[in-house]
Structure 1
Amino acid sequence: MREFCTSHPSKTFKLRLPTAPRRPKAHQQPQDATLLHLKPLEELTFDPDGLSGGPNFVIQQLGRNFSAYFAGITVRAGRNDLYMVKSGFIKTLLDAAIELRA
């Protein structure tokens, strides 16, 4: 098991995850708060060219229950890195666009 800490403006979360060879991890976060930088533990074995614009999902396990959530959209991907726009910022942008049309 590996422990990870992540923070949100209102609280800090501690995660205990089983070790997996291809599980991405947060890595050297960009200055832009809308982005999340993920780095696979091992270099990808395929060329990720074309992943930009694609959705990213998180699968969360709580006890015996699993839930899937939209996490964001890929904006840049390489064999060693992936950058995505976080879903909360996408929702804020969409809400603002809807508000402007109303």
Structure 2
Amino acid sequence: MSRSLEALAKATEQRRKQAESAVEKALRQARASQQPVSVASIARAAGVSTDFIYRHPTLRPQVEDLRRSRRNATPTDAAHDPRLPSCCQRPGPSAHPATGNRPSKTP
């Protein structure tokens, strides 16, 4: 292999490793936050293309696993925060779905 090809291969490998490190850093930051996760959001945070993540054999599953875990997680949002005024809270499970009114307890 010629020197110029070796240099090109070395530079390509270095860019790939930098991109992988950037995606891994973006994944760590996403795990620490409670923001929604997508391939596009991780790619944007890492400064890489979505194609890079979609074609990567180990990074794509990590992003998808995190996205799924966020989607399936029990909501810990402010909807049931007792510090919020009642007008801002979601009704509990026993409330009427349309009005949010609880059934009366009088016979």
TM-score normalised by the chain length of structure 1: 0.26
Q: Which structure shows the higher strand fraction?
A: 1
**Larger relative contact order, structure 1 or 2 (CA cutoff 8 Å, min sep 6):** 1
